[in-house]
Structure 1
Amino acid sequence: MTQISVNIMGQAYTLACKEGEETALRQAVAYLDGKMCSIRDGGKVRGNDRIAVMAALGMAAEMLSARAPDGPMSGLTMAEVKQEITTMHEALDKALGPQEALF
């Protein structure tokens, strides 16, 4: 196992991966960082945990759309998939909103 140091939204992390997989892990980190920074910079979501959930949902929808051509997102255009993701984000904001007052 190899350890690499990365930054996600300015936070340092040390991650372990198998020998030879460092480049792939760095690419995954860069992709995640880009998604999370985009959500953060949009200004609608606060809190790193909520930003991470939103990024994960978006990435999961992308993956499911690509992997299952006959799945729940089949036949949708990319704009429609993005609208579905936006709808999920809004539902999460509504559900998680009351928790903001706890912190």
Structure 2
Amino acid sequence: MSEQTIKQLDVSIMGREFRVACPVEEEATLLQAVQLLDQRMHDIRNAGKVIGIEKIAIMAALNLTHEYLHTRVGDGFDIGTIQRRIGDMNSTIDAVLAEQQQLF
């Protein structure tokens, strides 16, 4: 099993500084995520419809999550639908296993 090297990064989102930890090999992706989130939050603030940093953060998170759940890969694989189906299957499996444990 390989050891992952964790790096501490200082990032800025909406002018606020945060220190986050991430594996070294994921630094570039994390920085892209920070940039995307910061841009979305600035867009929401500049639109003037949402006031307050916490509300802006929640709206940005909801918008990004909504987009993520509607992302299609390749020839129409809908990630959101697949994840929901997997979640439903996990719930069904958990319920069946709980019934089985009651037998013993």
TM range (shorter): 0.5 to 0.7
Are 1:2 and 2:15 an aligned pair?
no
Number of aligned residue pairs: 71
What TM-score do you get using the length of structure 1 for normalisation?
A: 0.64
In structure 1, the partner of 2:67 is 62
Question: Per-residue deviation at 1:19?
Answer: 1.7
**Alpha-carbon distance in structure 2 between the residues aligned to 1:6 and 1:49:** 17
The structure with more radius of gyration: 2
**Alpha-carbon distance in structure 2 between the residues aligned to 1:12 and 1:69:** 32
Moved runs in structure 1, 4+ residues, more than 6 A?
A: none
**Alpha-carbon distance in structure 1 between the residues aligned to 2:59 and 2:44:** 8
Give the letter aligned to residue 49 of structure 1: E
Report SS of the residue matched to 1:24. Answer: helix
58-67 vs 25-34, which deviates more?
A: 58-67
In structure 2, which of residues 20, 44, 67 is the aligned counterpart of residue 39 of structure 1? 44
**Alpha-carbon distance in structure 2 between the residues aligned to 1:62 and 1:4:** 26
**Alpha-carbon distance in structure 1 between the residues aligned to 2:16 and 2:27:** 19
Give the letter aligned to residue 70 of structure 2: S
Q: Name the one with the larger strand percent.
A: 2
Query: What's the Cα RMSD here?
Result: 1.6
Determine which structure has greater relative contact order: mean sequence separation of CA pairs < 8 Å that are 6+ residues apart, divided by chain length: 1
